[in-house]
Structure 1
Amino acid sequence: MSFSAVDIAPRAPEAAAALRPDRHTALALAAAALVMGLGQTTLFTFLPLLMAHTGLSLARITAAFAIGSGLFLIGAPLWSRLSDFLGRRSVVAIALGGFALSHALLLWQMGQGADWQGQGAMLMLGRVIYGLTVSGLVPTCQAWLADLSSAEQRLGVLSRLSASLTLGRLLGPALAACSLWLDPLGPLWLMALAAWPALLLLPFTRQAARQGKAAVRERLGWQGMAAWLALAGLMQLALGQVQYALGPLLGSRFGLSASAASATLGWLLTACALVVLVLQLWLVPRCRAGRPLLLAGGLALLASGVLLALPGPLSLIWIGFLLLGVAAALLVPTYTTLASLAVGGAGQARVAGVLAAAHTVGFSLAAALAGWLFGLWPAAPFWLAGLAGLAVIVLACLLRLPARAD
């Protein structure tokens, strides 16, 4: 299979200068990504509240959330394609509206009491709304920024968008804990209201031109996309393997209690997110998207898997987990940028959508494999993460880069 990519015609300096997201647009899209990050981590803080107020079992709740997440496989490519016709702003508004509506329904549901017979159906309805609407948020934001940026600016703007998502994940648990001091349902109020600031900023954004039928007519070179989809799947496979298996490993290898293992994992996740945030805000935007960043990310991923798999002190776990953050910070914006450059102007939304779907597939595969592999051999998920890093290095050596990234 060929990994060649479509060349990009160079832009004139004045055209490149004109293609720059203005401050209002960058702020609105950063706020939208931050909302998405808040939702991803705050979710875990109100699971006990949800069980107590609805009377639903953890299995029924997690099943509903899993179905909502699975709908991202449908929603991300679909909304990305529709944004070519409806416009990026409209799709981002729909996604933020779906975020607000799904959490408002959840808040209303929790006020109905555990005896209400519609608890299960209402929870499922809210998660279906979430999955079918919010799935379009991040890929459409990526496509919008790609529309408004030149090839030279692309890595920087996409890296800052990823940093906003990471910041939201960092702030989510802290804001949820603070909101509990104000109201027992504080985390739900936080989620129901979080999307409104970003929604109110949207009218002040600079709208990207609609692609319309041009996006359908353009040949996107999907054979050349295979490498970028493989990189996206491998990164999320490795990330999921480590995240799902590290808690049990801390307990079995170091004899930590469940609460101690959870606390240690929480600190590891926080430190890792800080590493990602710092690198994506200050280092990655100063680099050029290309083979060196892919190789560095692959090496970090390989080293992370090996260090986590090998027996040793807890400090080895810390180093390995922080290297996982380095790998994510380098790889995700780099392969997203290179895929964006590879397909040309009219394919931005569609490539963002399929990359989001590849992320979902990789992380879902990790969820399916991690427990089984850990049961066979506790180090197996981490060796698989290391093999994913090795595969990234091989791909980085074999693929041909878009012309503007050479």
Structure 2
Amino acid sequence: MISLIGMMVSFLLLYLFTLLSTNPSLITISFIGALIARIIYGCTASGIVPACQHWATLICGSENRLKAITSVSIGLSAGRLIGPLVAIAALKVSPYAALCLMVVLPAISLTMIAAHPAPEVSQQREKTSANLPWLPGKKYLPYLVCAITLCVGIALLQYSFSPLILSITDWSTSQVSDVIGILLTISAACTFAVQTLIVKARKVTPIGMFRTGAIMFSCGFVLFLAPNIWCYGIAMAIVSSGAALLVPAYTSEATSKQPDAPGTVAGYIATSHTIGYGLASLLAFTATLAPIYPIYLGIGCSILIAVITYLLSKNADDSRGSEHCES
């Protein structure tokens, strides 16, 4: 509820300061106001995903952790798929219509949440959550590194779209924007399809998802080295499908390390995602040096994820082998 209230306040301030920006003498005030709005968003709305994952896990039970996490991921993917279409329709009504919707939608969600009964949490679970350290332990490190590097790779890829496309075409800015929109739609559609048809249907184990996701993530980035716009579409589909397997895999595996406090562990993962996007913004300047440089960095991230996946898979296989010998 705090996250949704933060979203409402943030988007409302963005709307108001956007209106003020039409007055040239108030540009500086509008810019500062927009920064404050984004700070409010970052300090509050960042809790929505771990809160939803925690709530879903409480409803489904720890034994159905992967199903709960995937359900939330499917909702996020559906939003990313529908969101651009809603924005396009809203912008045809008014330049401010999309911002107004961004205020209204959290209000609707807040009303639904307020009317919904809170999930039951045992006293033992609350005690365990309270005893967990602020900083995550070493046992979470492989999963958190995966979360950071995945977000670095994805964000750098998005930052490099425009210079990358311009480097192989002579298209106008509007044409490039259209292609970027198509690539992001391909990404959302593939993510939604993989999470719905494969992950939620439990057709692959978390370790299997780790392995397959790491391979697809690496192959997709390598395909971006080909200077061809059609290859970019195929590469985007492969990268997004790989990420769609990796995110629920490492989230499920990390929360299984502390089944009594899945919300706290989901918070560790969400923080790692934020760190990854922050690092990517610092590395985005590499696209100005050469459009292909962010792709090289993305390949490096995918290799690191592949190495971690191999080590985790090896440990899992060794554990199963030990249990089999004992039996």
**TM-score scaled by structure 2?**
0.86
Alpha-carbon RMSD across the aligned residues, in angstroms, is 2.5
Q: For residues 290-326 of structure 1, what are the alpha-carbon distances to aligned partners after superposition, in whole Å with 9 as ceiling and x for unaligned?
A: 2211011110111011110134x32211111111111
Q: For residues 66-94 of structure 1, what are the alpha-carbon distances to aligned partners after superposition, in whole Å with 9 as ceiling and x for unaligned?
A: xxxxxxxxxxxxxxxxxxxxxxxxxxx11
Per the alignment, residue 109 of structure 1 pairs with 17
Per the alignment, residue 153 of structure 2 pairs with 238
Q: Note the C-alpha offset of 1:199.
A: 1.2
Task: Answer whether contact 2:191 2:244 (CA < 8 A) is retained.
Answer: yes
Of 177-186 and 194-203, the range deviating more from structure 2 = 177-186
Per the alignment, residue 101 of structure 2 pairs with 190
Per the alignment, residue 97 of structure 1 pairs with 5
Per the alignment, residue 309 of structure 1 pairs with 225
CA distance in 2, matches of 1:368, 1:126: 21
CA distance in 1, matches of 2:99, 2:162: 27
Corresponding residue pairs, total: 310
CA distance in 1, matches of 2:176, 2:79: 24
Per the alignment, residue 292 of structure 1 pairs with 208
1:389 aligns with 2:297: no
Task: Answer whether contact 2:207 2:249 (CA < 8 A) is retained.
Answer: no
SS of match in other structure, 1:148 = helix
* 1:5-404 to 2 correspondences below 5 Å: 93-112=1-20, 114=23, 115-116=25-26, 118-202=29-113, 203-209=115-121, 211-217=125-131, 222-287=137-202, 288-311=204-227, 313-345=228-260, 347-372=261-286, 374-399=287-312, 400=315
Q: Note the C-alpha offset of 1:109.
A: 3.2
Change (3 A) 1:377 1:180: closer
CA distance in 2, matches of 1:109, 1:391: 42
Task: Answer whether contact 2:62 2:259 (CA < 8 A) is retained.
Answer: no
CA distance in 2, matches of 1:221, 1:190: 37
Change (3 A) 1:131 1:209: same
Structure showing greater relative contact order (alpha-carbon pairs closer than 8 Å, 6 or more residues apart): 1
Task: Answer whether contact 1:99 1:195 (CA < 8 A) is retained.
Answer: yes
Task: Answer whether contact 1:231 1:392 (CA < 8 A) is retained.
Answer: yes
Task: Answer whether contact 1:170 1:270 (CA < 8 A) is retained.
Answer: yes
Of 198-207 and 215-224, the range deviating more from structure 2 = 215-224
CA distance in 2, matches of 1:190, 1:221: 37
Task: Answer whether contact 2:152 2:298 (CA < 8 A) is retained.
Answer: yes
**Following superposition, which runs of at least 4 residues in structure 1 exceed 6 angstroms of deviation?**
none
CA distance in 2, matches of 1:229, 1:170: 26
CA distance in 2, matches of 1:182, 1:254: 32
**TM-score scaled by structure 1?**
0.70
Task: Answer whether contact 1:146 1:340 (CA < 8 A) is retained.
Answer: no
CA distance in 2, matches of 1:343, 1:280: 24
Q: Note the C-alpha offset of 1:170.
A: 2.1
Q: Note the C-alpha offset of 1:181.
A: 3.8
Unaligned runs of 5+ in 2: none
CA distance in 2, matches of 1:297, 1:342: 21
Change (3 A) 1:294 1:109: same
